[in-house]
Amino acid sequence: MSSGGGQQSQALTKPTFSEVQASALVESVFGLKVSKIKPLPSYDDQNFHVCILRTKDTTDGPNEYVLKISNSESSKTPDLIEVQSHIIIFLRAAGFPTASMCRTKGDNLTSLISVDSGSEIKSYLVRLLTYLPGRPIAEIPSSPQLLYEIGRVAAKLDKTLEKFHHPKLSSLHRENFIWNLKNVPLLEKYLYALGQNRNREIVEQVVQLFKDEVMTKLSQFRE
């Protein structure tokens, strides 16, 4: 992202597949016949909730999936997507309630597809995962027990991931990735979005505190 142009950049790289196109992808790449499909919320990728038709070859498997189409920028770094996919597999094997990765007809975890947008050819990495039913935490009344459980799972996740190894693990280390918590100062570029109000003052104070109290000690923290 870049200051002021973040939303424009996001719009240029985010996939814009129709439900018909997404259904065709599920069938051509993963060999599953779609009975129902609808969009799911997403940030800069594109997600679909997919229900499949039962056939003699899919009688025992799940019938609900999530089709994930990575944005064109992330699709240029297949190592990153590969590591993410293997982390999901690793956590599921460790007993976490994560989705299962579905393999393509060519027995791969992802497939790179190219689309002619008229002005250029864009490529997107496609994955299919089993659908996990449930409710977002934001929709559930908060309680001390719920918060405790969230913390317990987060701690268990952290300890488990210490044991994860992959030859391309370094692809996760993106210095200017805005969702990396050590990159809080990058948020200064987007303060304009808050206008001139009390919230902006609070955010400015927090960013400055982070610079003063955290940045100076980052080298001492485990990452």
| 16-46 residue pLDDT tens | 999 999 999 999 999 999 999 999 999 889 9
User: What are 92-151's pLDDT values in tens digits?
Assistant: 999 999 999 999 999 999 999 998 877 788 999 999 999 999 888 889 999 999 999 999
Instruction: In whole angstroms, give the CA distance from residue 31 to residue 55.
Output: 11
Lowest mean pLDDT among 54-68, 103-117, 127-141, 169-183: 54-68
pLDDT of residue 23: 96
pLDDT reading at 4 higher than 50: no
Written in H, E and C, the secondary structure of the chain is CCCCCHHHHHHHHCCCCCHHHHHHHHHHHHCCCEEEEEEECCCCCEEEEEEECCCCCCCCCCCEEEEEECCCCHHHCHHHHHHHHHHHHHHHHCCCCCCCEECCCCCCCCEEEEEECCCCEEEEEEEEEECCCCCCHHHCCCCHHHHHHHHHHHHHHHHHHCCCCCCCHHHHCCCCCCCCHHHHHHHHHHHHHHCCCHHHHHHHHHHHHHHHHHHHHHHHCCC
Instruction: In whole angstroms, give the CA distance from residue 85 to residue 78.
Output: 10
Question: What share of the chain in percent tops pLDDT 70?
Answer: 92
pLDDT of residue 3: 36
pTM of the model as a whole: 0.81
pLDDT of residue 10: 54
Q: How would you classify residue 4: left for phi > 0, otherwise alpha for psi between -120 and 50, otherwise beta?
A: left
pLDDT reading at 169 higher than 80: yes
Instruction: In whole angstroms, give the CA distance from residue 79 to residue 53.
Output: 32
pLDDT reading at 222 higher than 60: yes
Lowest mean pLDDT among 53-57, 169-173, 189-193: 53-57
pLDDT reading at 58 higher than 80: no
